[in-house]
Structure 1
Amino acid sequence: MTDELPEHAQLKAMPAVARAHGEHERHHSLLKLEHAVSLQRDANTLKVHLSDGTTAATTGVPFMADGIEPAELTAMKRRFEATAEAYERLSGRLAGPMAAEWKRLDALLTPAPAAAARARFAALARTATAGNAYGVGAHLLAAALDAMRNLDLTPSGIRADPAGSAALLRTTSCLVDTAAATTAEQAASLGRSAPDRTAFSRVIDALVAPT
């Protein structure tokens, strides 16, 4: 009987909360995929050997002989900085609601709704991991940005230490690669939560339905 279920009113509201989370996750999944593509493109640009005469043709980054860092790399630094700051804000903004949701789901840890708990906790685990991944991405991009700031990317700077420049750029590209991969993996993970939310809602709706 529904009037014997613990936290009946809270259980009744949970499917709507899960559906709202699903809408937010679709937005974040698309955002992550778009960012992953952009980051991978930047990582590939950094991989091109700077002394290769085909650099401009393959990446669009011309290395001029005027002692000025290419505008494209300056723009890349700005993108990394803006994305890292945005990820840091998102990570902090999502941490509070996720912590509260873990606590709310304690109402599922009783016999009647126990079957629903498995699906809901699985979906929340993916959501929380994806939220935490914003913080990881922020750290990786901040590290990549620091590496680029420690490198003289003007033609004369590169000629002064070609091996060191190449090594640091390879490291930078690897950091950005990792940020792109982490972002893409979490975007894909969020997409796997839809069946869990559906299963959870079906069980809870049946439990709280009038008899």
Structure 2
Amino acid sequence: MRSSQIRRQWRIVLCHARTMHPEREQLLFTVRNLARVHREHEKFYSESPFHDVIRWQRSSRALKALAERWSVATPSGETSFSPFAGAPDLNDDRATETLGILFMEGGGEPGEIANLKRDLGVLAEANRTTGQWLAAAMSAAWDMLEGLLGYGELADLLAERHRIVSNDWQCASMTELVARNLDRAAAILGRVDFTPAALRADLIANRLAPRYLFSAAEMLDHAADLMASSAVLTHENERRWRIFYERVDQILAATEK
């Protein structure tokens, strides 16, 4: 959603509030509602990102395990009667245990690696969309909060309320960076031919595959760190939401007496 669309929505909200409450109270009723619902909303988003953090860290560990294995392994000269036999020179138990990645003698690219590359692309697009929407929303929110400057009762909390927007705006930037890192990790993995024959040829030649894997893993590490930092910023907002809501509620209660 574009910033202009969000600003139009704010104008609609304020116009609706104007028909329900005296002019002085119209903005206060709106910001009290926002403080209540978005405090609850951000409780979820201060916790849910850690699910992705753990997921990306696990993927990173699996890729590093394979990279470490391929940095020292020599191509196996063994033959097997079964195409489903594991490739002893390519597999690493840590990668198999963590993500289920298993190279088989008669197989091509393991399905788990194909799934990882696909999932990274999907998650990158989801984070890009979220980051862009949040940035537009915070731009509109910052403009809307200028209307609070005339309320002396909120003078000591203006920085607290604007800090919420600042934190969320920073989260938006981090989320877009997460998307870029996930996209690039998938692109780096796309440079590797994960068929057993190609990997064994690489082990004999210049061992580029493990170097690509280390880089992809480090991109995932950075994405995880950014996401964790974003969750921390969101969590920091909780107290600010609470005290701001309580103050606005007190002001409105006083006007109703």
So what's the TM-score if we normalise by structure 2?
0.73
User: Separation in 2 of the partners of 1:198 and 1:182?
Assistant: 26
Structure 1 match to 2:37: 20
Structure 1 match to 2:214: 170
Kindly indicate whether the alpha-carbon contact (under 8 Å) linking 1:94 and 1:131 is maintained by their aligned counterparts in 2: yes
Structure 2 match to 1:109: 149
Please report how far the alpha carbon of residue 50 of structure 1 lies from its aligned counterpart in structure 2 after TM superposition: 4.0
Please report how far the alpha carbon of residue 198 of structure 1 lies from its aligned counterpart in structure 2 after TM superposition: 1.2
Kindly indicate whether the alpha-carbon contact (under 8 Å) linking 1:11 and 1:107 is maintained by their aligned counterparts in 2: no
Structure 1 residue identity aligned to 2:126:
A
Structure 1 residue identity aligned to 2:183:
A
Per-residue CA distance 1:170-191 (angstroms, 9 max, x = gap): 0000000000111112112211
Structure 2 residue identity aligned to 1:43:
S
Aligned residues with identical type, % of pairs: 25
User: Separation in 2 of the partners of 1:28 and 1:151?
Assistant: 35
Identify which range, 173-182 or 151-160, moves more after superposition.
151-160
Residues 103, 7 of structure 1: alpha-carbon distance in 2 compared, 3 angstrom cutoff: farther
Kindly indicate whether the alpha-carbon contact (under 8 Å) linking 1:91 and 1:131 is maintained by their aligned counterparts in 2: yes
| RMSD of aligned alpha carbons | 2.1
Q: Pick the structure with greater CA Rg.
A: 2
Structure 2 match to 1:94: 134
Are 1:152 and 2:193 counterparts? yes
Kindly indicate whether the alpha-carbon contact (under 8 Å) linking 1:69 and 1:155 is maintained by their aligned counterparts in 2: yes
Segments of structure 1 that go 5 or more residues without pairing to the other structure are: 1-5
Kindly indicate whether the alpha-carbon contact (under 8 Å) linking 2:121 and 2:186 is maintained by their aligned counterparts in 1: yes
Residues 200, 40 of structure 1: alpha-carbon distance in 2 compared, 3 angstrom cutoff: same
> Secondary structure of 2:43's match?
helix
Please report how far the alpha carbon of residue 16 of structure 1 lies from its aligned counterpart in structure 2 after TM superposition: 1.4
Segments of structure 2 that go 5 or more residues without pairing to the other structure are: 1-22, 74-87
Aligned partner of 1:81 among 121, 146, 171: 121
> Secondary structure of 1:127's match?
helix
Kindly indicate whether the alpha-carbon contact (under 8 Å) linking 2:62 and 2:95 is maintained by their aligned counterparts in 1: yes
Residues 69, 62 of structure 1: alpha-carbon distance in 2 compared, 3 angstrom cutoff: same
> Secondary structure of 2:48's match?
helix
Residues 182, 7 of structure 1: alpha-carbon distance in 2 compared, 3 angstrom cutoff: farther
Matched residue pairs, number?
A: 206
User: Separation in 1 of the partners of 2:45 and 2:251?
Assistant: 31
Please report how far the alpha carbon of residue 67 of structure 1 lies from its aligned counterpart in structure 2 after TM superposition: 5.4
> Secondary structure of 2:108's match?
coil
Identify which range, 23-32 or 135-144, moves more after superposition.
23-32
Structure 1 match to 2:167: 126
Structure 2 match to 1:3: none
Structure 2 match to 1:30: 47
Structure 2 residue identity aligned to 1:30:
E
So what's the TM-score if we normalise by structure 1?
0.88
> Secondary structure of 1:30's match?
coil
Structure 2 residue identity aligned to 1:96:
A
Structure 2 match to 1:58: 94
Per-residue CA distance 1:38-97 (angstroms, 9 max, x = gap): 111111111012436594421211122235111111111111011111111212232332
User: Separation in 2 of the partners of 1:50 and 1:81?
Assistant: 26
Instruction: Extract structure 1 runs of 4+ deviating beyond 6 A.
Output: none
User: Separation in 2 of the partners of 1:111 and 1:146?
Assistant: 52
Q: Which has the higher contact order (CA 8 A, sep 6+)?
A: 1
Are 1:136 and 2:177 counterparts? yes
